[in-house]
Amino acid sequence: ARTIGDTLSAKGVSWKWYAGGWNAALADRQQIYKGSVNFQAHHQPFNYFQRFAPGGADRVEHLKDEADLLADIAAGALPQVVFYKPQGSLNEHPGYADVLSGDRHIAEVVARLQASKQWPRMAVIVTYDENGGFWDHVPPPPGDRWGPGMRIPAMIISPLARRSYVDHTPYDTTSILKFITRRFELEPLLGVRAAAGDLTRAFDFRAGTSP
């Protein structure tokens, strides 16, 4: 299977996946699913593809720690596409994490991004892999056998985002991949839903150039 990392690399677009606790897990496997960091291996999607296996150049180049993210933000050296997954203790998941700590963490990261010299051409998408309840007041739109399911939050933070705007276009998680694919004119990936939007309606590109 091809990943968004494959299509980005094929087009020469720079990218990195940053993960909280990555370095700690590499140094001490006791941090995996336990300890104060609670590094969660199943939340590291690229880690399961041969291209990013231990010892490979792509793993070294593209899979990084949260500390590398903060350093790249400060240096104004972020790649063109960034993915970031906080460590388990900060991911707001019920049962082993709390909402406030996760919200504070993301707010701090966003504040650093807004202070970066790269901010004027940046789009930040904050979303989740599930919501906090077990119901929704409207049925999900038609999709396929996998969903969509219950609605989850998604926030777009950018100088180019429509201000004071709630976008009612049907989206799903693959909409983020569709947005990246459209922005960089990549080879489309299999598995994205044709009926799901690509997030462009949430932006007002008249406010400036594209991110």
Q: What is the pLDDT of residue 50?
A: 94
Q: What is the pLDDT of residue 132?
A: 63
Q: What is the pLDDT of residue 202?
A: 93
What tokens appear for 126 in the block?
């904050």
DSSP line for 180-197: HHHHHTPPPPTT--TTS-
Q: Please give the model's pTM, rounded to 2 decimal places.
A: 0.92
How remote is the C-alpha of 133 from its chain's centroid? 22
Q: Which residue, among 7, 90, 114, 100, has the nearest Cα to 51 in the 3D structure?
A: 7
Q: Which residue, among 16, 4, 11, has the nearest Cα to 58 in the 3D structure?
A: 16
Phi, psi of 173 (to 5 degrees): -60, -35
Report d(CA 198, CA 157) in Å as an integer: 16
Neighbouring C-alpha atoms within 13 Å toward the C-beta of 86: 24
Strand extents, DSSP E, the chain? 15-19, 63-65, 81-85, 124-127, 154-157
Residues 6+ away with beta carbon under 8 Å from 55 = none
What tokens appear for 186 in the block?
């990549």
Q: Which residue, among 1, 2, 4, has the nearest Cα to 177 in the 3D structure?
A: 4
Q: What is the pLDDT of residue 95?
A: 86
Instruction: Return per-residue pLDDT of the chain as tens, 211 residues.
Output: 899 999 999 999 999 999 999 999 999 988 899 888 899 999 999 999 999 999 999 999 999 999 999 999 999 999 999 999 999 999 998 888 999 999 999 999 999 999 999 999 999 999 998 776 667 777 888 878 888 888 888 899 999 999 988 888 888 889 999 999 999 999 999 988 888 899 999 998 775 556 6
